[in-house]
Amino acid sequence: MEPIHGRHTSRSRAGTTITELMVAMVILSIGVLGMFGAFRYIGTSIHVSRAKTLATNLGQERIESLKNLTYYGLLVATTTATDNTVNPAVLYDNGEYSPETIVTGGMTFTRYTLVEMVQVVNDVVSSVSLTYPDTGMKKITVTVVWSDAGVRKSWTLSNLLENPNVGPLDSSISGNAQSAVGFTNLAGVNVSVDQYPDYTAITAADGSYSFRVHHGTYTVSMSTPGYYDWTSSVVNAPQGSGATVTSAMVAIASGSIAGSAWYNPGLVISEVVGTTTTVAVKPSGTGSNSYDVEYVELFNPTTYQISLANTTGSGSSAGEHYKLNTYVGGTQYSDLMNNAASTVFVSSYVKSGGYYLIADAQAFFVNGQWVTSNAYYNQTDAISDTSWGGIQLTDTANNTVDQVCWNGSGGPPAHYCNGSYIPTDGTHGLEDSSGNKVGNQLVRFSSPTALGRGTYGSAYNAQNNATDFQYPVYGSPSTLGFNFTPFVSTSPALPIISGVPAVGAYVAASDSNSGSTQTYTAYVSASVGNQLYAPFKLVGVATGSWTVDIALNSYYAQLTGVVMMTQGSVVGIPNAATVPSWTAAAPYEVELSSTSYNGFIKGTVENTTGGPIPGISVTCAGVTKTTDSNGLFFMAVTSGAAVIRYNPNNANTLYVEQDVPVTVNAGQLLTEDTVLSQGGTLTGYVSIGSTPIPNFTVTANLNGNQMGAAVTNSAGVFTIRGLSTGTYVVEPVVDTGQDTSPLTISATVLVSQTVNIGTFTVSGAYGSITGWVKNNSALVTTGAMILASTGTIPSTLPAIYGSSAAAQSPVYAVSSLADGTYTLPVRGSNTYNLKVFVPTLSGTSAVTTAIKSYSGIAVSPGAATTQNLTLP
């Protein structure tokens, strides 16, 4: 059977089979679907990028806003919380800077803020605890969180705010003050850092101390009475930890300085003889006959020459400067140096350390030699030798310079005596008990311990005739007799080792540890009675070489090179090593002169009940002394204006510090007694919110005068010490733009007590204008410029130049945020004009600006005034 064949058909015409069409549709579907997937991923990418951009802008806005605050106005978080819905979890401030919800660009964002105290160690920034001392650096962390397709996402930005004016107290120095021998702990030692005197402490009862410092290298000094100041080697106080410094203080070896003090104000009567039987040349004639010669000898114990007359010659023609009056029984002879018989001045002056002889003979023979008078008069028996009598030396104004009297029948006139008269048997005056009178002498001592004559000048003058002179001792026979040849102006000048005892003179050494003392009354037993003198003993003088000052009224002496060699020794001054040195070996007699280039300050420091306060430091013109057991101090200072500071730096914490301005003249002994009140202490706290503010100044004022001040420590605590009792107004010292609540606190200081006055909370004196900006009923999310001023705001702002800026009203400016809101800080207590500028893009390049003005916006300090801005 044959196969059946169909008709043969040509393929040259166009056409597609169903199968081909189906395959093509499948391929096309796959491509279109792929294109749709790509569009979806592109859209998602754009959405994510836009969200991150908005989050970044929101974070930057917050950081810039916070960085515009002052360092202490930026508050460290004290209350925190955690958002665990995002990975990593977000730690944020849930107190001062609580979370914010912001809707912008059709999305909802949550903005978290965290402010921490941080430190930089080895270039690594790390957080520290809230209670850590202020490091001077804060870290702002802003995290913005949003949801995307049910997934929580976040974007974090951070920045640092540094306080360049504060060295953070991020380290410490602590340790013990100890003695070098036995390493005994020492209480009450002042400890300070040499580089920063404000870093200081006082050791406790166990010798310990501790205080905060900024990290670095320092030397530490310690000081306390009875020990030499001690200074450490350089120590390193690392950041975050600290240094330990323990001293080994050396006790001051001390001894005493001793001596006695004198001063010599003028001429003294050094010898009196009422009668002699000798060969003499008398004014009425000459010859070798036996004459009854009387004379008075004067001595000049001062450091300068004294003129008795302007010239040599007779009587008043010589121009006398002194008068010599005598009493004989009831008869007074007035001025033997200018009597009617015309006294003749052979010499007109007395040299320093020299003598002058006045007699009723031009010359006479004594003890185997002729003596020539320096002045002579023609008057018979002007000096009593058979009865009581006296001699008085005065200046021409009749002021008594010196006087001496002796007893006899009837007794001497009291006004011719210095102290007690020279005793006799009550009948014979200068005669002895047998009636012998020839050559009996009254001779002034050289000193209480040098009773002879001729080695030292006859200067001893306790102003008591009975003990100042040698005189005949009555008995049988006289024990004095005619022993001493009188001196004249040509006799050699003699050294002086005594004078008027300087009782009550003030004595101090340049060693600040030794305090001061006064000379006192004492007596030396001698053949004619107890001789008064003025010794002193300055104790507690440290080993070393010192200067000693002694002053009494206008009289003064300074001795340099006073060397204290060993513990417990007593150094007599002056001595061979001092300047000036001693006049002769062993007599430690200091003569006070009337010339001084320094001034002197003395005084007592007492408490309010009148009791002395020992151990109080007193400083003036670079000199420091310590009051003695009687509260007394004495110091020599350079002349001029100065300030006496009692109890500086409240070294004795029981009493206040007190300053007294003075003017000290050269040679002046200034008395400045003072009363120190017992002090109390005020303490308190300064913060912004709950964050302590270090380095903030607080003052204490009494009756409008600032009496004390202190700076807060790293914990915000201030302590004002050494305040006298009373009610004070305590006030923080705020910067411009700051206020405190309360503004002041009144507090009463109690003796030896610390009074806590409470807390000052610092806030800005600025308020703010806040609200939102809308244009055509829509929030402005592209930024608007808002200006505020108490003056008129022109639509076109003028250029501001330095020369004119001070005269213009301030203009405050801010840009609105991406959510359409704004906050404009302005000075409180003012009413403002406000103008808003909203730029709008028209077409592709043209920009138009919508402007609207507002007025009468009142702002209070620390308050926010809402002013929403609607354009047009």
Distance of CA 638 to the CA centre of its chain: 18
Is pLDDT of 357 > 90?
yes
Q: Write the CA distances from 588 to 389, 567, 591, integer angstroms.
A: 36, 21, 10
Q: Bridge-partner residues for 850, per DSSP?
A: 838
The two tokens of residue 747 are: 């507090």
Is pLDDT of 480 > 50?
no
Task: Measure the CA angle with vertex 752, ends 749 and 756; round to 5°.
Answer: 50
Q: Strand, helix or coil at 443?
A: strand
Is pLDDT of 223 > 70?
yes
Candidate from 380-384, 483-487, 651-655 with smallest mean pLDDT: 651-655
Contact between 721 and 679 (Cβ < 8 Å): yes
Q: How far apart are CA 430 and CA 274, in angstroms?
A: 7
Give pLDDT, residue 197: 63
- The torsion angle over the Cα atoms of residues 81, 84, 89 and 91, rounded to 10 degrees, is -10
Element (H, E) at 826: strand 821-827
pLDDT tens digits, one per residue of 666-721: 878 889 999 988 778 889 999 887 778 877 889 898 888 787 788 787 778 898 87
pLDDT tens digits, one per residue of 332-351: 777 877 654 568 899 999 99
SS (H, E, C) 511-573: CCCCCEEECCCEEEEECCEEEEECEEEEEEEECEEEEEEEEECCEEEEEEEEEECCCCCEEEC
Q: Which pLDDT band holds residue 763 (cuts at 50, 70, 90)?
A: confident
Give pLDDT, residue 115: 92
Q: Which pLDDT band holds residue 159 (cuts at 50, 70, 90)?
A: very high
- CA dihedral sign, ordered 642, 643, 649, 651: positive
pLDDT tens digits, one per residue of 503-553: 999 998 988 777 788 999 999 876 566 889 999 999 888 888 999 999 988
Q: Write the CA distances from 609 to 676, 721, 787, 806, 844, integer angstroms.
A: 10, 22, 66, 57, 92
Contact between 179 and 251 (Cβ < 8 Å): yes
Give pLDDT, residue 737: 67
pLDDT tens digits, one per residue of 278-297: 888 887 655 556 788 889 99
Give pLDDT, residue 526: 65
Q: Which pLDDT band holds residue 479 (cuts at 50, 70, 90)?
A: very low
List, in order of start, the domains of the chain with CATH numbers: 48-162 (3.30.1300), 171-251 (2.60.40.1120), 263-470 (2.60.40.1260), 597-676 (2.60.40.10), 679-764 (2.60.40.10), 766-871 (2.60.40.10)
Report the predicted TM-score, pTM, of the whole model to 2 decimal places: 0.59
Q: In whole numbers, what is the pLDDT of the chain averaged over residues?
A: 82
Mean pLDDT of the region 205-214: 88
- List the beta strands (DSSP E) in 200-285: 200-202, 208-213, 216-218, 220-223, 230-231, 235-237, 243-244, 254-263, 268-273, 277-281
pLDDT tens digits, one per residue of 294-331: 899 999 999 899 998 888 877 656 777 888 888 876 67
Q: Which pLDDT band holds residue 393 (cuts at 50, 70, 90)?
A: very high
Give pLDDT, residue 104: 80
Contact between 601 and 287 (Cβ < 8 Å): no
Candidate from 80-89, 369-378, 474-483, 598-607 with smallest mean pLDDT: 474-483
Give the largest CA-CA distance in the chain.
Answer: 220
Q: Which pLDDT band holds residue 627 (cuts at 50, 70, 90)?
A: confident
850-855 contact pairs (CB < 8 A, 24+): 850/775, 851/795, 853/793
Contact between 278 and 290 (Cβ < 8 Å): yes
Half-sphere exposure of 42 (CA within 13 A, CB side): 6
Contact between 860 and 828 (Cβ < 8 Å): yes
Is pLDDT of 864 > 90?
no
Q: How does DSSP assign 678-690, residue by residue? A: BEEEEEEEEEETT
Give pLDDT, residue 636: 87
